[in-house]
Chains A and B, each alone.
Chain A
Amino acid sequence: MSETDIKANKIDYKNFFYPPGGILIWILIMVELITFGAALIALSINSRENPELYHQSRLMLNSTYGAINTIFLLTSGYFMARTVYYVKQQKLDKAAFNNKMAMIGGLLFLLLKSLEYYEKIEHGLTIGYNTFFTFYWLLTAFHVIHVLVGLGILFFMYLGLRKAKRPDILNVEAGASFWHMCDLIWLLLFPMLYLIF
């Protein structure tokens, strides 16, 4: 595939080396998913030693917050997908608007997460409270860091969409893929931490 083809947005996604977003971002996504997956397996193994403690600890979490945050991230992901769609259509104003909506979704997620963290700290449910909360804090905080990085990427993408006449679709797709990765990780964390124990 020539550079001209890529610039003209004629990417052959069926080529193994050119998945949407590019191969590098997909290697990163796979590594992240394996890391979080391994941590969640460790959480499950650990829960077998004291299932009652995990059940009681899980009940101390507010699953409504978790569900609302799932809606925020999924909606944000939808707007991100629309952003990529409009960039491909060369409708950059619409793309920038959808990008902004995706950022708002991410900010709402962080706002609710901050409220949840505040309540947990107020009740003394900090990282050292028990093993469940050690996992809870490590996994969710690591995820929040990803959301913060993703928001930074989205912000620079927004600036780019406002200025560029023909944005590089590979860069837009790579940034969008990173943002969707935050959705994917959350879709694993939410049931594991808030629902199943």
Chain B
Amino acid sequence: MKLTQKNTIIFLYILTLLTALFSNYAYGWSFFVTIILGLSAIKFMLVAFEFMEMKKAHAAWQFLIVFYLILFVGIISVILH
């Protein structure tokens, strides 16, 4: 399925709902923090790449966004694990 702005907002709503459900029912699981932050990272990428159109940008900018997210999720997961 081609990712359009309309599809993207639907994905974002679904991911927000999933995050809310997961946080209610899975608190205390081993990888709870990583999964919650991972879902947020996916939403972050959808906004950056689709809404902000960074999918059209130079690969270095795309790398910076993904690198930032990996670093952020990784560091927080290590600290809170």
Judge: A and B partners, yes or no: yes
> By the criterion CB–CB under 8 Å, are B47 and A183 in contact?
yes
User: How many angstroms from the CA of A190 to the CA of B60 in the assembled complex?
Assistant: 28
A37:B72 contact, CB within 8 angstroms: yes
Contact present for B80 and A74 (CB under 8 Å): no
For the complex, would chain A's binding face be called helix, strand, loop or mixed by DSSP majority? Answer: helix
Q: How many residues of A contact B (CB 8 A)?
A: 43
Within 8 A of B (CB), among A20-52: 20-21, 26, 30, 33-34, 37, 40-41, 44-45, 47-48
* B47-75 vs A, Cβ < 8 Å mask (1 yes, 0 no): 11011111011101100100010011001
Q: Which chain A residues border B60 with CB–CB below 8 Å?
A: 16
Q: How far is the CB of A185 from chain B (nearest CB, A)?
A: 10
Query: Is A188 touching B40 in the complex (CB atoms < 8 A)?
Result: yes
| A191–chain B nearest beta-carbon distance, Å | 5
Interface-located stretch among A76-84, A119-127, A136-144, A148-156: A76-84
Are the CB atoms of A190 and B47 closer together than 8 Å?
no
Whether A195 pairs with B79 at a CB distance below 8 angstroms is no
Q: Which of A159-197 contact B (CB under 8 A)?
A: 176-177, 180, 183-184, 187-188, 190-192, 195-196
Q: Knowing A82-B5, A188-B40 touch, does A180 contact B52 (C-beta < 8 A)?
A: yes
Nearest CB of chain A from residue B81's CB, rounded to whole Å: 10
Given contacts A14-B57, A16-B60, contact A40 B5 (CB under 8 A): no
- Count contacts on B: residues with CB < 8 A to the other chain: 37
Q: By the criterion CB–CB under 8 Å, are B61 and A16 in contact? A: yes
Q: Given the known A-B contacts A187-B40, A187-B44, are A14 and B58 also in contact in the complex, defined by CB atoms under 8 Å? A: yes
B23 lies within 8 A of A44 (CB): no
19 contacts between A and B (CB under 8 A): A16-B58, A19-B58, A21-B52, A30-B68, A41-B79, A44-B75, A45-B79, A48-B80, A67-B19, A74-B13, A74-B16, A78-B8, A78-B51, A81-B52, A183-B47, A188-B44, A192-B76, A195-B19, A196-B32
* Chain B residues within CB distance 8 Å of chain A: 5, 8-9, 12-13, 16, 19-20, 23, 32-33, 36-37, 39-40, 43-44, 47-48, 50-54, 56-58, 60-61, 64, 68, 71-72, 75-76, 79-80
List the 6 closest A-B pairs by CB distance, nearest first. Answer: A81-B51, A13-B56, A19-B57, A78-B9, A16-B58, A20-B53
